[in-house]
């Protein structure tokens, strides 16, 4: 369904060219739950932005259902069936949560139906449905509202960049259930960028990206024991450094 072929991307800095993604090739199959992980600054969010069209690769191709989408805009990709939840969601002053969920769902949902999506992400729907998506929402609330909009869209491919960021522990437990349910009910694939062991544990496949390259890609059972080792973060970091 999604195929990244030899994707490279870099930026020009005062010290010269900085390579951010180096010849990345990755296939995400139908109905797969793929978690991309790896050390900070490895290139995960940049890769997610390539999938959504926020950044364009310097070289390489992106195929979605066999169609070359490399030059397509964000809107064209969204219309083809790709959704994206940003690491830092944007606020929409003047737009209410209900409007945003209706826009995402692309139909005139009843308030009760829209509320179901908010409840799924652990928000008390009646308190939020008429709120404006502005600076009055906390980072964690905004993040959960954005995840609710991706659920409402229900597209073939949903990409989440660090959905756990800024979410409290209680809501995080809910979030895991949301993803587990999504995995069972969705007719599409899910790509999640995450550092969380609980999310890695429910993946079909895990991809480890470090320093702009794919270090490892395999099933959860193949990759998780290697990453976690003794299940401590320091040993995970040692793994990344050894392999890089
Ligand atoms: N537009 C840009 N200009 C300069 N450097 C950039 C740009 N975009 C990304 N980078 C750099 O590219 C590297 C990869 O960034 P990216 O956000 O993709 O990493 P990440 O793996 O998602 O990290 P994290 O786990 O911290 O979210 C980082 O060193 C970042 O500073």
- Name which residue sits closest to atom 7 of ligand 1, judged by CA: 11
Whole-number Å distance, alpha carbon 100 to ligand 1 midpoint, is: 28
Contacts of 87 (CB under 8 A, 6+ apart): 45, 161, 162, 165, 193
What's the rounded Cα separation, in Å, for the pair 83 and 63? 15
- Name which residue sits closest to atom 28 of ligand 1, judged by CA: 41
Number of domains in the chain: 1
Contacts of 217 (CB under 8 A, 6+ apart): 26, 205, 206, 207, 208, 223
Nearest atom, ligand 1, residue 46 CA? 18
- Name which residue sits closest to atom 12 of ligand 1, judged by CA: 20
Whole-number Å distance, alpha carbon 146 to ligand 1 midpoint, is: 22
CATH code, domain carrying 128: 3.40.50.300
Secondary structure of residue 154 in the 3-state scheme: coil
The ipTM value here is: 0.95
Whole-number Å distance, alpha carbon 40 to ligand 1 midpoint, is: 8
Give strand pairing partners of 106. Answer: none
Domain that holds residue 24: 2-243
User: HEC states along 184-225?
Assistant: HHCCCEEEEECCCHHHHCCCCEEEEEECCEEEEEEEHHHHHH
**Mind listing the pLDDT tens digit of every residue in the chain (244 residues)?**
899 999 999 998 888 889 999 999 999 999 999 999 999 999 999 999 999 999 999 999 999 999 999 999 999 999 999 998 887 778 888 889 998 899 888 888 888 888 888 888 888 788 888 888 888 888 888 888 988 999 898 899 999 999 888 777 777 887 888 888 888 877 889 999 999 888 999 999 999 999 999 999 999 999 999 887 644 444 455 555 555 5
């Amino acid at each position: 369904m999604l195929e990244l072929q030899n994707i490279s991307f870099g930026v020009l800095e005062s010290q010269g060219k900085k390579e951010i993604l180096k010849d990345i090739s990755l296939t995400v199959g139908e109905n797969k739950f793929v978690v991309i992980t790896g050390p900070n600054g490895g290139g995960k969010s940049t890769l997610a932005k390539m999938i959504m069209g926020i950044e364009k690769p310097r070289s390489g191709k992106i195929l979605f259902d066999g169609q070359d989408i490399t030059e397509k805009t964000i809107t064209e990709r969204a219309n083809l069936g790709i959704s994206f939840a940003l690491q830092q969601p944007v606020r929409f002053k003047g737009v209410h949560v209900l409007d945003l969920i209706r826009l995402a769902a692309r139909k005139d949902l009843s308030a009760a139906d829209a509320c179901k999506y908010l409840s799924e992400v652990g928000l008390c729907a009646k308190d939020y449905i008429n709120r404006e998506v502005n600076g009055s929402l906390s980072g964690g609330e905004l993040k959960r509202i954005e995840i609710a909009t991706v659920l409402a869209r229900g597209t073939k491919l949903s990409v989440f960049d660090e959905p756990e960021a800024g979410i409290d522990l209680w809501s995080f437990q809910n979030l895991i259930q949301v993803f587990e349910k999504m995995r069972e009910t969705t007719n599409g694939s899910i790509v999640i960028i995450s550092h969380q062991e609980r999310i890695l544990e429910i993946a079909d496949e895990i991809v480890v990206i470090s320093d702009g390259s794919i270090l490892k890609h395999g099933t959860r059972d193949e990759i998780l024991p290697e990453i976690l080792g003794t299940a401590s973060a320091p040993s995970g970091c040692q793994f990344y450094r050894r392999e890089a």
